[in-house]
Amino acid sequence: MIRVDIGEILIKQRLKGFLSDKNIEFKLTPSFENISKIGDSEQIIDIYSTLVNNRHMQLLQSFNKSMNKLVTKEIKTHIKRQEKLASLVIDCCCDEDASELALSSDTKINIAISLLKYGISGHANIRVSQRNEVKQYQPKFDVNQYISNARVHLGLSLNDAMRLTMTEYIILMANKYPDNDGFTAKEYDSVMDAYEKRRAERLKTYQ
């Protein structure tokens, strides 16, 4: 069973063999265990930043004709690095031999970005109050710390904790420890918008 909601991806491909074709499934899971294979705590963040910040690809697609050769070459070099890192991320998140995957450069990078978002930053629709929002840049991603937290607070075994993705971890922790510490950013904006509308209506009555 594929859990798309926690970041798992299933890729099906038909590969041509010498005597006959065969269908192969590649299951990608951005679990703590697999994310840890990417590199150390600082390397993980560096790879995340390089792939998720896809500004170079957007610039190349939008302004390729108008940019000078030097800038274009620099951007293409960056994209090649992105593709190499994307292959690393996919390899680490796949139990099968991912080298057999036939993917375009864009597809490979987009899949890796999705794996990193679900596996590192988390992609969960939960309630987070303004005062508990994490807005600072995090220079490290300590996988072992999250695994330990999951074992202590969620009562999971080491193996079960290692199999969590960051998205699933956030959801489970939010269910156990709901955040009721004030307004969320969206709730605050909604309250202020309503206040400004009421204020504008009151001012009209005095005109």
Tell me the pLDDT of the chain averaged across its residues. 80
| Digit-coded pLDDT (tens) for 120-130 | 988 877 655 44
Calculate mean pLDDT across residues 48-69: 66
Instruction: Tell me which residue range forms the domain holding 20.
Output: 4-205
- CA atoms of 110 and 34, how far apart (whole Å): 18
Q: What is the DSSP letter of 66?
A: T
**Residue 206, exposed/middle/buried by CB under 10 A (0-12, 13-18, 19+)?**
exposed
Long-range contacts of 13-18 (CB under 8 A, 24+ apart): 13/100, 13/101, 13/102, 15/100, 15/102
Task: Using alpha carbons only, give the angle 118, 122, 123 rounded to the nearest 5 degrees.
Answer: 75
* Closest-CA residue to 48 (of 147, 120, 104): 120
**Look-up of token digits 């963040």:** 45
**127 vs 24 pLDDT, higher one:** 24
Q: What is the pLDDT of residue 80?
A: 87
Judge contact between 32 and 121, C-beta under 8 A: no
pLDDT band at 16; cut points 50, 70, 90:
confident
The total domain count for the chain is 1
Q: What is the DSSP letter of 118?
A: I
| Digit-coded pLDDT (tens) for 132-157 | 455 555 788 999 999 999 999 999 99
Q: Look at 47-56, 104-113, 136-145 and tell me which has the smallest mean pLDDT.
A: 47-56
